[in-house]
Each structure stands twice: as C-alpha cells, then as structure tokens.
Amino acid sequence: MLLAIDVGNTNTKFAIHDGVDWRGQWRASTDSSRTADEYAPWLSQIMALANLGFADVSACIISTVVPQALFNLRNLSRRYVGAEPLVVGEPNVKLGIEVRIDKPNEAGADRLVNAVGAFIQYGGPAIVIDSGTATTFDIVGRDGAFEGGIILPGINLSLQALHDAAARLPRVEIRDPGCVIGKDTVTAMQSGIYWGSIDMIEGLCRRIRSEYGAPMITIATGGVASIFEGAFPSIDHFDQDLTSRGLLEIFKRNGGVL
C-alpha cells in the first residue's frame, strides 16, 4: 500500500491507497517540529481504526510546502514504512507535465500535484481552486501542463487578520448567514466573508476564462471548499481527493507499483 502525505501550511493530510481504493484519509495540524517518533504513534492508532498498520504499507510519497517538515516525514517513511519516500519537487521525481511559467522552480508542490490530479480526472483546460491557508487558482492546459494562476489570502487568514487588527470584531464561524445585509456584527462579518468569497471566486473565474479564451472545467478542493458547495454556479466539481489522486498518479509515473 502507498502512504501519500500532503503537507500544507495549516494541515497535513495522510492517505493510504491499496492499489484499488483509498482505505483512509486523515488530517493533522502541521507542526514542522514534530518528529517521526511523535507522528508514528498517532498515525498507527488512527490507521488501526481502518484495520491498517505500518506493516501493510510498502511505499511513500510526500508533497510539502513547508520545507522544514520534510526531514521528520522522510524519517517517518524510512523508519516505520521501511521505504525511501518520493518527494515531489526533487530532481529525480518526474511529474509527467510541463510547467509553463517564467520561473518553474517557484511553482508550489501542492499546485503541481493538484494540476496532475485534476487533469487525469477531468481533463483540460481547467481551473483548480484550492482553499487553504492561501486560496490559489491554478490553470491546467489542454495537454495537462501547469500554466500559472493566482494566489491570494485564504478565507481563514482573512478572518484572522480582521479579528487581530480590529479590537471589537470577534472570531466568527464561516457560514451562510441567510442574508446579505447583516443586522449585527456577527452576521455582517459572516455575510462579508461568505458572499465576498463567492463573488471574488466567481469574478476571478470569469476573468480567467475571458483571458484564456476557451471553455474551462472548474474544480474546487481544500479544507474550506466544502462550506461553499452548491453556492458557486461556475464550479463544476468539488473534489476533496484531488491532491491525493495527484500524488498517486505521480507515484505511478515514477515506476511505483502497488
């Protein structure tokens, strides 16, 4: 089985694939100081809930946007899986796609993995919207190439900044307040973040399609995306397995067999 690890700025996702299906997917808060020996007991216990153990896993692939977390996760794979992990972004790991931007080495591993996952499932051209610490819009070409995109602050980061900078504004839940015009501070903030996010994403999708000049499939993924499911006319698919699927495909493109 394959252990696929996707390290984001806020959360780290661990997923197990048996060659046919995903057997389990779990999230933990990203902590670059957490050692392999600290990860292992937590992961072994949560894997046991799915009747899995480290003995069932024979390979590992890692994608990370937090470089300082890599050392400990590489050791996790070496010590507890017994395998040298593939690491997205290292020279020996083939993505199987062209990176068509001015500075290819600046493309985040997560964005490239999402491009691979989107293309094999939905084809191209496509827009991939990933809602996490940052909200990213990534453009996947007709042939699967990564062609650039947009990066802006994530929804939770925007809410946190609002709370931190304004003494009287509370922390609020991200949800549809059932109105646009808020009648109190909480609903006003919820309306702003909920409807503001929707209109921002809808507007940027329109601009991207206009500039690209061709019909595009739009896929949303990431920890916050599910809150907005059904609210976006322009989004064709909500897919929480997109990154894991991309990691699995990259594993196969590098000779991995399960």
> Do the domain assignments include residue 6?
yes
Helix boundaries (H) for 1-60? 36-48
> Do the domain assignments include residue 254?
no
Q: Is residue 158 located within the same domain as residue 202? A: yes
Residue 132, pLDDT above cutoff 90:
no
> Do the domain assignments include residue 149?
yes
Average the pLDDT over 145-154 and give the result: 94
For the stretch 17-34, pLDDT in tens is 999 999 999 999 999 999
Smallest Cα–Cα separation from 146: which of 88, 85, 69, 226? 88
Q: What's the number of domains the chain is made of?
A: 2
Residues 6+ away with beta carbon under 8 Å from 81? 3, 54, 57, 58, 59, 60
Q: Is residue 72 located within the same domain as residue 129? A: no
Q: Which residues are catalytic?
A: 110
Q: Is residue 113 located within the same domain as residue 238? A: yes
Q: Is residue 160 located within the same domain as residue 239? A: yes
Element (H, E) at 86: strand 86-87
Q: Is residue 143 located within the same domain as residue 43? A: no
Q: Is residue 145 located within the same domain as residue 59? A: no
Q: Is residue 83 located within the same domain as residue 128? A: no
For the stretch 197-251, pLDDT in tens is 889 999 999 999 999 999 999 999 987 777 777 777 888 999 989 999 999 999 9
Q: Is residue 190 located within the same domain as residue 148? A: yes
Assign residue 207 the CATH number of its domain: 3.30.420.40
> Do the domain assignments include residue 53?
yes
Helix boundaries (H) for 23-108? 36-48, 70-76
Q: Is residue 66 located within the same domain as residue 133? A: no
C-alpha distance from residue 48 to each of 11, 19, 83, 243, 248 (Å): 21, 19, 20, 23, 22
Residue 105, pLDDT above cutoff 90:
no
Task: At 118, list the tokens.
Answer: 């989107």
Average the pLDDT over 161-190 and give the result: 88
Domain end call among 87, 115, 141: 87
Domain end call among 57, 87, 117: 87
Q: Is residue 113 located within the same domain as residue 220? A: yes
Q: Is residue 183 located within the same domain as residue 120? A: yes
Q: Is residue 137 located within the same domain as residue 191? A: yes
> Do the domain assignments include residue 114?
yes
Domain end call among 87, 112, 133: 87
Three-class SS state of 189:
helix
Q: Which domain holds residue 135?
A: 104-245
* Least confident span in 87-91, 109-113, 173-177: 173-177
Q: Provide the phi-psi class of 152: left if phi over 0, else alpha when psi is between -120 and 50, else beta.
A: beta
> Do the domain assignments include residue 234?
yes
| Distance of alpha carbon 116 from alpha carbon 237, whole angstroms | 16
